[in-house]
Structure 1
Amino acid sequence: MDTDDTDSSQRESRTSESDPPEQAELSSESISTDSSGSDLPDSSDESDTATPEESSGTESQSIEDMLLEFDQQEGLIRDRSLLDPNYVVEEDRIVGRDTQLQKVTKMLRVALGDNRPPNLFLYGPSGTGKSLITKAVCKNISSICESRDIQFGTIEVNCQDLDTLGVAVYELTKQAADEAGVDVQVPKHGVATKEKWDELYRIVNENFDSVVFVLDELDMLVGRRDKKEPAFSRLLYQLSRSGANDDLNAYLSVVAISNDTRLMESVGSRAHSSFTPEDVHFDDYDANQLKAILRRRKDAFHDGVVNEDVIPLAAAFAAQTHGDARKAIDLIRVAGELAEREGDDHVGEKHVREAQDKVEKNRVLEVVRGISTQKKLCLYATAAVAAETEDGSARSTTGYRVYQFLTDTIDTDQYHQETYVNKMKELTTYSLVDFERRSHGPSSGMFLEFQFGERPDTILETLREDSRLEMVSSNEVETVVHAQLRNRN
């Protein structure tokens, strides 16, 4: 019997993903005492005590007054949607991706007629336009199809938060139902995965002539470890075979998007044979391309409020961290918001530098506050290695040995190396770390090499705020790292 593909066996028996509850800090109240040490009430009359507002002759504003006052201010930002990296912008705002844009457009345009578009594999670093171009092309195809009375649908899911094949199929079904404006008639849990597939096929067949399934961050859909084939491989096989099996009447195309350039090497032979995608590579943006991207979004601000040095500086910062356009856009957004809060009438270099520190620290804080102690240990160990290497990279084999030292030091459960690697791969979704598969000769075997989008020292500094990591001597960790790096060489 086909059962729901849940991930019930995903961790070793020794491990625990939950963080210990935080200890509440108690503060003692200050007590007035006389010279004899006895507690005394404050002898001053309350009526004689003036508040700071009364002393200064000003009245405090109510929350409503403050909100209305802010609402009436013109501010510096005119259109905040243009400062959202995920916002699908017009074609003339897409910069530095002419080749990729033409390839994707030419291959998907057959959806405008009575043909099935080819499957695509879009790969390259985070923030290089893969999702943006796919959404922009599909949005234009949808508009033209609507004028031709063709029912075209774009069904998009981000696989980073999907644990198993069954969950992924349900999410596709839900997105298809939302696109069609209908209801899903199967539950998320408690039914066989096949029933979810059947429901997906039913919704597509009844509501669409042609559909494009966009599978973003596909490499994150690993699924259960007891399966011989990763979940993303089985998903690709099932989708690409659905038309041949007469499960779908609509024309179907799959666009797989991944930061992992070697994803297809992990796809099973059956899926590889049926999927057979057209490859489109996206490389890093350089500083000039990032400047062009930001200039195309400069009208998000009111005229004349952005100083000339803002865009070049923001582009330079983003170019230093793997040419990520999302980071460049985030920088000028935060710089603008900082200038507004400070009451300045221009966005300048000072605000960009403040924004760089704020964005970097906020991103790290956002990640480490929401992850388990075990993931913090994996991240800490890997960042500690990267901080001591010339190129800022860390091999998974070296990082795991430092991780073992950390778990032994604080006397906590210890993952096997495979699980350590999987937890680090999960952290790639936060744009803190990327990885590549490497081999340094037949004797070294295969390993992952992690590289950080932020400074490893910033990550380490933030992680040390955790009370359990604070007790570990940074000098001892550094000594262990140096020893492991020597042994590696």
Structure 2
Amino acid sequence: MLLEFDEQDGVIRDRELLDPNHVVEEDRIVGRDEQLQEITKMLRVALGDNRPPNLFLYGPSGTGKSLITKAVCKNISQICRTRDIRFGTVEINCQDLDTLGIGVYELATQAAKEADVELEVAKHGVATKEKWDELYRIINENFDSVVIVLDELDMLVGRRDKQEPAFSRLLYQLSRASGDEDISTHISVVAISNDTKMMESVGSRALSSFTPEDVHFTDYDANQLKDILHRRKDAFYDGVLDESVIPLAAAFAAQTHGDARKAIDLVRVAGNLAEREGSTRVSEEHVRKAQDKVEKNRVLEVVRGISTQKKLCLYATAAVAAESDDETARSTTGYRVYQFLTESIDADQYHQETYVNKMKEMTTYSLVDFERRSHGPTSGMFLEFQFGERPQTILETLREDSRVEMLSPDEVQTVVHAQLRNER
């Protein structure tokens, strides 16, 4: 079977170009000239063996923050090698990190990989200070200058009993490191977040020592997304893409926050679907199938990693939106449905304020957005949630959780209808 498939004519020539995380050449970076220039200007001082400033890159997911940082650091590294400057980039994604200690360990692991040396500290059973010491040892012994990239930093919250979030404590320690007499390496930090208000949660000590230069990234529009896809068109063999493929993929991605990752994923999945069908062309129909598949995969990736309580909050709100005419959900109505869900499966029940805060946290995943509203003096104030994906897709994905699966969709729908009637 392997040989049989190997002999088939494929449509994809270079799969790396269809990987959204692949660091592409500068001429393939589209619609981000201003941000590219700003970041280059600020990080290029490393070429003179000086410390670059700390940066805070913020804006919606898939708008080029990580891509541009990696591309600039890659070019700086190449030039530094010709100047006998030991430059390194240490990057971690904070989305799946639970505590500060795990975050520091991951930084030490990536620093060891970048330096091609052995890591000499354990992941568990070791004090966080020992992990910091190991990170600084590796950096100090192997680099003249290092840029530490903290992607999705706002996701590193840490233990809830701590007054200050873990990402604030991480920034404080890292930004103080360059002033340490025992550390000769120039250390600068690039903090990346989808949450424009992340810095409001940073403690005063961390804020005064971090003092970053801000770079804002906006959504891509449909035309910019088309340009991005056209610059990666050579990932496919000549003539295999129907004319409608790139405009349609760009239009789908533009509808959901102008996410370039989604646009690239769509054409990649469409190409894979065409190959599996044995087709010699990628058509509009392949893109439409890819849209359904990518949407479900993205939601699944997000909801798999959240707690059962967050899933119940999300399920209740999506259930209301799915039955609403405009696919929105009031926080007051969503909370009453949430109460029904928790009672149905005998789960702990949050107060309404906590439910609302959990739903607000979902905005960092780009699953929901919200506005504060009031429908007259008798209704009071409430939040109105809107979903970035189809609410039905979110419900279908959440039902893969064993506890959520215990809920009867018909019963939930009946409760939702009753609550929506009460709204009127």
Q: Is the aligned partner of 1:467 residue 2:405?
A: yes
Q: Which residue among 405, 416, 420 is the counterpart of 1:478?
A: 416
Q: Is the 8 A contact 1:214 1:254 kept in 2?
A: yes
Structure with higher helix content: 2
Q: Which of 355, 364, 367 is the matching residue for 1:433? A: 367
Q: Deviating runs (4+, > 6 A) in structure 1?
A: 436-440, 443-449
Aligned counterpart, 2:316: 381
The residue that corresponds to 2:122 in the other structure is 187
Structure 1 residue 293: Cα displacement: 0.5
- Counterpart residue number, 2:89: 154
| TM-score of the superposed pair, with normalisation by structure 1 | 0.78
Q: TM-score, normalised by structure 2?
A: 0.90
Question: In 2 relative to 1, CA 258–365 (structure 1 residues): closer, same or farther, beyond 3 Å?
Answer: closer
Relative to 1, partners in 2 of residues 1:154 and 1:485: Cα closer, same or farther, differing over 3 Å? farther
| Shift, 1:378, TM fit | 2.3
Q: Which amino acid aligns with 1:143?
A: Q
Q: Does 1:304 align with 2:239?
A: yes
Aligned to 1:114: 49
**3-state SS of 1:162 partner:** coil
Q: 1:346 aligns with which of 281, 284, 294?
A: 281
- Aligned residue number for residue 262 of structure 1: 197
Q: Deviations over 1:194-230 (max 9, x none)?
A: 1111111111110000011100111111111221111
**Pair 1:231–1:153, CA change in 2 (3 A):** same
Residue pairs, 1:436-451, within 5 angstroms: 451=386
CA contact (8 A) 2:369 2:386 kept: yes
Instruction: Give, in whole Å, the separation in 1 of the partners of 2:423 and 2:69.
Output: 42
1:127-146 deviation line (CA, Å, top 9, x unaligned): 11111111111111111111
Q: Structure 1: which amino acid aligns with 2:70? A: K
Correspondence 1:334 to 2:269: yes
What residue in structure 2 maps to residue 15 of structure 1?
A: none
What is the aligned length? 418
Q: Which deviates further from its counterpart, 195-204 or 392-401?
A: 392-401
The structure with more radius of gyration: 1
Deviation at 1:405, TM superposition (A): 2.2
Deviation string 1:216-248 (CA, Å, 9 cap, x unpaired) is: 111111111221111111111111111123242
Rounded Cα–Cα distance in structure 2 between residues aligned with 1:445 and 1:116: 52
Letter in 1 for 2:255: Q
Answering whether residue 37 of structure 2 is matched by residue 99 of structure 1, we say no
- The CA deviation string for residues 84-130 of structure 1, in whole angstroms up to 9 with x for no partner, is 11111111111111111111111111111131101111001111111
CA contact (8 A) 2:149 2:191 kept: yes
Q: Quote the Cα distance in structure 1 between the aligned partners of 2:373 and 2:100.
A: 30
Once the two structures are TM-superposed, the CA of residue 374 in structure 1 deviates from its matched residue by 3.6
Aligned ranges 1:71-110 → 2 under 5 Å: 71-110=6-45
Identity of aligned residues (%): 78
The question of whether the paired residues in 2 share the 8 Å contact of 1:409 and 1:472 is answered with no
**Given the superposition, is the C-alpha separation of residues 362 and 244 from structure 1 closer, same or farther in structure 2, using an over 3 Å criterion?**
closer
Amino acid across the alignment from 2:420: H
Aligned-partner Cα distance in 1 for 2:133–2:421: 55
Instruction: Say which SS state the counterpart of residue 128 (structure 1) adopts.
Output: coil
Which amino acid is the alignment partner of residue 414 of structure 2? E
Deviation at 1:149, TM superposition (A): 0.8
1:407 partner amino acid = T
Change in CA separation of 1:398 and 1:107 when aligned onto 2, cut-off 3 Å:
farther
Change (3 A) 1:449 1:478: closer
Contact 2:8-2:278 at 8 Å conserved across structures: no
Q: 1:154, 1:214 within 8 Å by CA — same for their partners in 2?
A: yes
The residue type equivalent to 2:367 in the other structure is V
Residue 233, structure 1, aligned to residue 168, structure 2: yes
Which moves more between the two structures, 329-338 or 417-426? 417-426
- Segments of structure 2 that go 5 or more residues without pairing to the other structure are none
Q: Determine if the alignment matches structure 1 residue 273 to structure 2 residue 208.
A: yes
CA distance in 1, matches of 2:382, 2:171: 25
Q: Which moves more between the two structures, 90-99 or 466-475?
A: 466-475
Q: CA deviation at 1:385?
A: 3.8
Aligned-pair CA distance for 1:252 = 1.0
Distance in 1 (CA, whole Å) between partners of 2:326 and 2:398 is 22
- 1:163 is matched with 98
Instruction: Tell me which amino acid in the other structure corresponds to 1:228.
Output: Q
1:453 deviates by 2.6
CA RMSD of aligned residues (A): 2.8
Counterparts of 1:244 and 1:341, CA distance in 2: 56
Pairing partner for 1:136 from 71, 82, 92: 71
Name the SS of the counterpart of 1:256 in structure 2. Answer: strand
Letter in 1 for 2:49: D
Tell me whether 66-75 or 274-283 shows the greater mean CA deviation: 66-75
SS at match of 2:406: helix
The answer to which of 236-245 and 148-157 deviates more is 236-245
